[in-house]
Amino acid sequence: MTDTVVAPISARPLTGATLILAALLIGLGNFLVVLDTTIANVSIPHIAGSLGVSVTEATWVITSYAVADAITVPLAGFLARRFGEQRVFISAFIAFGIFSLLCGLSRSLEMLIAGRVLLGLAGGMIIPLSLTLLLRVFPAEKATLATIIWAMTTTVAPIAGPILGGIISDNAGWEWIFFLNVPVAAVGAAGLFYLLRGRREATARSPIDVVGLVLLVIWVAALQIVLDEGRNRDWFAATEIRVLAVVAAIGFIAFLIWELTEKHPIVNLRVFRHRGFVVASVTYAMSFGAYFATVVLIPLWLQQNMGYTATWAGYATGIMGIFAVLASPAIGAAAAKMDVRLLISTGIAGMALISLWRTGFTPDMTFLQMAWPMLLTSPFLMMFFIPVTGLCIASVDPHEQADAAGISNFLRTLTSAFAASLVQTGWINAARANRAELVGAMQQGPSTIEAMVASGLSRETATTVLANIVESQSVMLATLNMFAAVALCLAFTGALIWLAPKPKGPIDTSGGH
Digit-coded pLDDT (tens) for 95-120 = 999 999 999 999 888 899 899 889 98
Concatenating the DSSP letter of every residue in 221-274 gives: HHHHHHHHHGGGGTGGGSHHHHHHHHHHHHHHHHHHHHHHH-SS-SS-GGGGG-
Shared domain check, 63 and 83: yes
**Among the listed residues 332, 330, 309, the one whose alpha carbon sits nearest the alpha carbon of residue 142:** 332
Q: Which domain, by its residues, includes 476?
A: 271-513
pLDDT at 152 (0 to 100)? 78
* 430 vs 207: which has the higher pLDDT: 430
> Which phi and psi angles does 3 have, rounded to 5°?
-70, 145
Shared domain check, 277 and 253: no
pLDDT confidence bin for 1, thresholds 50/70/90: very low
What's the pLDDT tens digit per position in 444-500? 656 666 666 666 666 666 666 666 677 778 888 888 999 999 999 999 999 999 998
Cβ atoms of 267 and 74 closer than 8 Å: yes
Question: Could you tell me the CATH number of the domain that includes residue 304?
Answer: 1.20.1250.20
pLDDT confidence bin for 169, thresholds 50/70/90: confident
Q: Tell me whether residue 2 is in a domain.
A: no
Shared domain check, 216 and 182: no
Shared domain check, 298 and 183: no
Q: Tell me whether residue 389 is in a domain.
A: yes
The number of distinct structural domains making up the chain is 3
Secondary structure of 350-372 in the HEC alphabet? HHHHHHHHHCCCCCCCCHHHHHH
Q: Tell me whether residue 395 is in a domain.
A: yes
Shared domain check, 364 and 218: no
Q: What is the DSSP letter of 207?
A: P
Q: Alpha-carbon distance 262 to 259, whole Å?
A: 5
pLDDT of 56 higher than 70: no
Q: Alpha-carbon distance 429 to 409, whole Å?
A: 30
pLDDT of 7 higher than 60: no
Shared domain check, 451 and 338: yes
Shared domain check, 194 and 296: no
Q: Tell me whether residue 4 is in a domain.
A: no
Q: Tell me whether residue 152 is in a domain.
A: yes
pTM (whole model) above 0.75? yes
Q: Tell me whether residue 3 is in a domain.
A: no
Q: Tell me whether residue 413 is in a domain.
A: yes
Q: Where among 265, 281, 308 does a domain terminate? A: 265
Shared domain check, 216 and 318: no
Shared domain check, 260 and 367: no
Q: Tell me whether residue 119 is in a domain.
A: yes
Q: Where among 265, 286, 301 does a domain terminate? A: 265
Cβ atoms of 163 and 311 closer than 8 Å: yes
Shared domain check, 344 and 215: no
Shared domain check, 213 and 200: no
Q: List, as own/partner pairs, every contact residues 173-180 make where C-beta atoms lie below 8 angstroms and the sequence separation is at least 24, other chains included.
A: 173/46, 173/50, 174/40, 174/43, 174/46, 174/47, 174/50, 175/104, 175/105, 176/104, 177/39, 177/40, 177/43, 178/100, 178/101, 178/103, 178/104, 178/115, 179/100, 179/101, 179/104
**Percent of the chain surpassing pLDDT 90:** 20
Shared domain check, 242 and 99: no
pLDDT confidence bin for 345, thresholds 50/70/90: very high
